[in-house]
Chains A and B, each alone.
Chain A
Amino acid sequence: MRASELVLLVTIAGFSAVLCVQSLEFRYTSAQGFGPGFVPMNFAIATLVLGLLIMLKSRKATSDATAPSAIGERFRAALPAVAAAALLFAATYVMHLGSVLLPLFAVMVVISLTMLGHSLIRALLLNAITLAAVFAIFNLWLNIPVT
């Protein structure tokens, strides 16, 4: 099993376990039918069971992909995606200060420079034009207060 799949399954299992426990706060049945806890509890349990089955099935098909060197290589390959996601999470946190486009511009420039191989001037220019177009459509035309 790949490390990324393990991360996916463990995260979803954790999410399902939390919802399963919290669905106990809602009634499972009512006088003439089912309560609001019926669907979340059953589907949380089903998700956990199916996740476990996938893990067991994958263990049988273990290959060299789980060897340390393969994991290292895979992580290096996944680094651009992981870094881009991390940058976007950080930028969204900064967006709570008021501006959406400024943090977004910073992320886009970093992605341009480090992952798309653009020069600094090209990165600044291309992304400024892109965000100007986005601003014109969303803010000026559609009156959506994105700044």
Chain B
Amino acid sequence: MEALSNLMIGFGEVLTPFNIAIIFAAGLIGTVVGALPGLGPSAGIALMLPLTFGMSEASGLCLLTGVYMGTMYGGRITAILINAPGDAPAIITALEGYPMMQKGRGAMALGISAVASFVGGLFGLAVLIFLAPVIASYAIYLGAPEYFLLMAVGLATVMLLAGDSMLKAFFVTCLGVLVSTFGSDYVSGQIRFAYVPELIEGIDFVAIIIGLYGLGEVLYNLEKKVKLELGKPRFSIREFVPGRSELGEAAAPTMRGSVLGTLIGIVPGAGATVATFLDYALEKRISKRPENFGKGEISGLAGPEATNNAAVPGSLIPLITLGIPGSGGTAIMLGALIMFGMRPGPLLMTTSGDIVWAMIAGLVLANFFLLLSNILLIPVFINLLRTIQNNLANVVIALCVVGAFSLSYSPFNIWIMLIFGVLGYLFKKNDYPTGPFILAVVLAPLAENYFRQAVMLGQGSAAIFVERPISLTILILMVLIVAGSVFGRLRARKLREMRNPEE
């Protein structure tokens, strides 16, 4: 009850015409920034930071968190419409949303993902409001062994993203790990494979995804002479507002995604990207139609979208209660809190409770605005695509090149984007799965650091992974995932052989 009364005080602070306008604008700006390839939540918040200088603490934080939430909604738009994820968590959205687009159901994919994002965001906010201090208190019990095993569980989902050939999946996973080893090694401080100074910080992950998914798709479509036939611009509500059957199909995955996204969002360092991959793997594992994944399956779209947005309030929990940023976006938020003269840490809720609760109230408001604006803007996005469909290849190329340039304001990341664009094209042409590659690029640096730290903590012994109760539990979970996947594959092969004995 205390949480609710605090929230009401927060709403009292936020519900002024100026703050409402700020929150609405922040949501829209975040949506557009998130939709642009190359610009994710970190870039969105960083770009808006100078605008907050003259504002009150509550207004400034509402603006920044609104942009943060908006980018999570926006990332899905280009992922679904042109297979160019605006940010890393939207990669999974592209896996299911783009096939729906190709089947002429792009507007519906946007509608379903908007509703799932809203539910996920709302669930995450409810947890943030009621359970923040309780849940965050458990995060301090996690050490390097547990973090490594969490990353390893993520990597184990390669088996679920593998597609037809496990050998090819392992091959691209190993390649992804190799790509991730470029740059500074944070355990020893040494710099690996930095052939040029730009590689000291490693290969920019965003340049990789822009190339792999955006440019790779364009090159493949140019070869196959794929042309979108979306017809002339029109407006039909039935096209983009999900009906009872779509909502029924999306309901359970959305709820599962909301829970998973919030829980993983709370774990510092894991973030929305890891959460969406894990949720996608979970949905595929428990689906009655796993063969439909990658072809426009609603549960594979709704679950990860809810996860993605639930991870935002989730990642704010350790930031607010412990002062630990759980992601790149919250790291910039941490800077903003300090900039406003607040002291992030366990005492923040006591010393600056009114501002924190105003920020949370602003997030609740932003989530409602974002649902409305994203549903209402679907015809704009779809009709925009219909207008440019004859020149889509060039529009995507322009966004990819300029998006890659904007990462470091130099052509270096354009080279990286081009190399991975060609790689993405060759992967697609020869049926190599891209999911395991991206998963490895995301998780391997974290997993390597935590693994080596854990072994150092155990004074050279790997027994540390089984001696700690939480790490042992995660280890058992990982073994179950791997065993379940192997068993599932063997069973599927046996069933196929029984149906087609001549194979």
Contacts and interface: CB of A to CB of B under 8 A. Distances in A.
A26 B190 contact: yes
A116 to B, nearest CB: 6
A46 B425 CA distance: 23
11 contacts: A15-B178, A22-B193, A35-B188, A47-B171, A77-B223, A100-B411, A104-B402, A115-B222, A116-B391, A130-B391, A146-B405
A121 interface: no
Interface stretch (B9-17, B305-313, B415-423): B415-423
B395 interface: yes
A147 B397 CA distance: 16
Contact of B418 (A22, A89, A100): A89
A110 B185 CA distance: 43
Contacts, number: 173
B243 to A, nearest CB: 34
A67 interface: no
B393 A116 contact: yes
Contacts of A46: 170, 174
Given A118-B390, A146-B406, 13 more contacts: A19-B181, A26-B190, A40-B181, A44-B178, A47-B171, A54-B168, A81-B220, A85-B422, A100-B411, A137-B36, A142-B33, A142-B406, A144-B402
A69 interface: no
Interface of chain A, main secondary structure: helix
A66 interface: no
A80 B393 CA distance: 12
A107 B405 CA distance: 16
A32 B421 contact: no
A84 B223 CA distance: 10
A68 interface: no
Contact of A50 (B32, B174, B460): B174
Contacts of B386: none
Interface of B: 32-33, 36, 39, 47, 167-168, 170-171, 174-175, 177-178, 181, 185, 187-188, 190, 192-193, 215, 218-220, 222-223, 225, 388, 390-391, 393-395, 397-399, 401-402, 405-406, 409, 411, 414-415, 418, 421-423, 425-427, 429-430, 432, 444, 448, 451-452, 455-456, 459-460
Contacts of A112: 391, 394
B222 A80 contact: yes
Interface in A70-114: 77-78, 80-81, 84-85, 88-89, 92, 95-96, 100-101, 104, 107-108, 111-112
